[in-house]
Amino acid sequence: MMHVLGVETSCDETAAAVLTGERRVLSSVVLSQDEIHAPYGGVVPELASRQHLTSISYIVGESLRRANLTLDRIDAYAVTQGPGLIGSLLVGLSFAKALAYYFDKPLIGIDHLEAHMEAAFLENPGLPLPAVALVVSGGHTSLFFLKKRLHYRLLGRTRDDAAGEALDKIAKFLGLGYPGGPVIEKMGLSGDPEKFSFALPKMKDSSLDFSFSGLKTAALRLIGETRMSASHPHLADFLAGFEGAVVRALVDNLDRAAEKFKPASLILCGGVARNKRLRDRFDGLARGSGLAGFVPSPALCTDNAAMVAALAVEKMRTKKKTGLSLDLDAYPRFRLTAEY
Ligand code: KG4
Ligand code: ZN
């Protein structure tokens, strides 16, 4: 039986996973650095890469232990190449490269956004295509059209902040903790999202791009005007309203993309896809449009290595092994532009 070991260190999670050639997940280990970055209200790149260096060997070892395997049973290595924090990416990439070199096995470079989308296919192998996918995380907010497997066309992306980044920044400003998305979700649960009004920016053209900086500025202005704080009696209302506006902006664009491209399925993935308000609105949209809606289970939404190894298996199966080489290099910036 074939085994693939995946490694993911693009941001602040050190992750490793072992999958079979049939894409059965034998182990998936994720070590979050949340506690390290929490005092700063956001990821500190230098601290992230140092922590990856400290953890990577243990996390890879743990993924093998849980899969009940040793390194000599691994047939291929998969690693996130980018986009992400360059120092963090290099830790995972160098580690996987060294293993592939030593054991003389293939090394498959994986794009992080493509891996997030793959999480939906890992749990739903029969996902009907074509699909429109929304990748929404701390670093990315992008819409893709998937005509067939491993084929992506960029429909729109954020022109400024990512949705998760906007949530993280407002939580940081109010001193609520990091990561901001889950904190805002929890603290806003009892709130009335209609109490404060958040107008959404309108794109002047018919583009499917996103923009969150205007919403963030409006939230900051409201914080000033209402003297909003962590102890304000209407904090829950404010957070529910802000989260609701972010969700509305995401779902509205997805709705327009679905209208325009008439897919068979809708996919929602990335860290922010853990959000209940977003998941509910997404389900409502899919149902209302008569489409099949797919959201990975929460552990597969945030960064993990199972999605990395899964994508590598699919690429090997279809022989689309882009970047299969020890010359692989990390890339910090978004690469899935136009058609891919
Ligand atoms: O995919 P991910 O783990 O890392 C990136 O590729 O960026 O996503 C992390 C992002 C953070 O911005 C975090 O605040 C957000 O996902 N997030 C959430 C929730 N859980 C994580 N946002 C809203 N609601 C959540 N429950
Ligand atoms: Zn991610």
Co-location of 248 and 219 in the same domain? yes
Co-location of 40 and 78 in the same domain? yes
pLDDT band at 333 (very low <50, low <70, confident <90, very high): confident
Taking the CA atoms of the chain, what radius of gyration do you get in angstroms? 20
DSSP of 44-92, one letter per residue?
-HHHHHHHHHHHHHHHHHHHHHHHT--GGG--EEEEEEESS-HHHHHHH
Co-location of 165 and 259 in the same domain? yes
Ligand 1 nearest atom to the CA of residue 167, by list position: 14
Identify whether the C-beta of residue 46 lies closer than 8 Å to the C-beta of residue 53: no
Q: Is 337's pLDDT higher than 70?
A: no
Co-location of 165 and 109 in the same domain? no
- Calculate mean pLDDT across residues 103-130: 96
Residue that is written with structure tokens 């202005």 in the block: 221
Co-location of 143 and 284 in the same domain? yes
pLDDT digits (tens, 9 = 90+) for 52-90: 999 999 999 999 999 999 999 999 999 999 999 999 999
Instruction: Identify which has the larger pLDDT, 42 or 282.
Output: 282
- Calculate mean pLDDT across residues 242-256: 97
Asked if residue 111 belongs to a domain, the reply is yes
Identify whether the C-beta of residue 220 lies closer than 8 Å to the C-beta of residue 203: no
Give the ligand with the smallest distance to the CA of 30: 1
Furthest CA-CA distance within the chain: 63
Tokens, residue 112: 């992080």
Asked if residue 194 belongs to a domain, the reply is yes
- Calculate mean pLDDT across residues 258-283: 98
Ligand 1 nearest atom to the CA of residue 12, by list position: 4
Co-location of 148 and 259 in the same domain? yes
Distance CA 22, CA 123 (A): 12
Q: Buried (b) or exposed (e) across 97-124, using 16+ Cβ within 10 A?
A: bebbeeeebbbbbbbbbbbbbbbbbbbe
Q: How many CB atoms lie within 10 A of CB 319?
A: 7
Distance 112 CA to ligand 2 centre (A): 6
* pTM, two decimal places: 0.95
User: Which residue from 12, 157, 183, 272 has its CB within 8 A of the most atoms of ligand 1, so it is best to mutate?
Assistant: 272
Co-location of 286 and 309 in the same domain? no
Co-location of 213 and 93 in the same domain? no
Asked if residue 199 belongs to a domain, the reply is yes
Q: Give residue ranges with CB within 6 A of ligand 1.
A: 11, 137-139, 164, 167-168, 179-182, 185, 270-272, 274-275, 302-303
pLDDT band at 321 (very low <50, low <70, confident <90, very high): low
Identify whether the C-beta of residue 75 lies closer than 8 Å to the C-beta of residue 4: yes
pLDDT digits (tens, 9 = 90+) for 8-31: 999 999 999 999 999 999 999 999
How does DSSP classify residue 208? -
Distance 73 CA to ligand 1 centre (A): 34
Query: Can you tell me whether residue 206 is helix, strand or coil?
Result: coil
Co-location of 96 and 140 in the same domain? no
Asked if residue 335 belongs to a domain, the reply is no
Asked if residue 78 belongs to a domain, the reply is yes
pLDDT band at 41 (very low <50, low <70, confident <90, very high): confident
pLDDT band at 340 (very low <50, low <70, confident <90, very high): low
Asked if residue 329 belongs to a domain, the reply is no
Q: Is 229's pLDDT higher than 90?
A: yes
Identify whether the C-beta of residue 10 lies closer than 8 Å to the C-beta of residue 88: yes
Distance 122 CA to ligand 1 centre (A): 20
Tokens, residue 286: 């899919």
- Calculate mean pLDDT across residues 315-322: 80
Strand partners for 109 = 79
Q: Which domain holds residue 65?
A: 3-116+300-317
Nearest Cα to Cα of residue 4 among 291, 339, 313, 317:
313
Tokens, residue 165: 């980044």
How many separate domains does the chain show?
A: 2
User: Which residue from 12, 243, 302 has its CB within 8 A of the most atoms of ligand 1, so it is best to mutate?
Assistant: 302
Distance CA 100, CA 78 (A): 9
For residue 259, CA distances in Å to 176, 280, 339 come to 38, 19, 20
Share of residues in the chain with pLDDT > 90 (%): 90
Distance CA 36, CA 45 (A): 11
Co-location of 70 and 97 in the same domain? yes
- Calculate mean pLDDT across residues 116-137: 98
Q: Which amino acid is at 82?
A: G
The per-residue pLDDT for 324 is 57
Tokens, residue 80: 């996130």
Distance 136 CA to ligand 2 centre (A): 8
Distance 228 CA to ligand 2 centre (A): 30
Asked if residue 83 belongs to a domain, the reply is yes
Co-location of 137 and 243 in the same domain? yes
Sheet with 292-294, strands from edge to edge, namely 153-157, 141-146, 131-136, 265-269, 292-294
CATH number of the domain within which 310 lies: 3.30.420.40
The per-residue pLDDT for 323 is 54
Asked if residue 124 belongs to a domain, the reply is no
Tokens, residue 269: 């993935």
Distance 5 CA to ligand 2 centre (A): 18
Co-location of 284 and 307 in the same domain? no
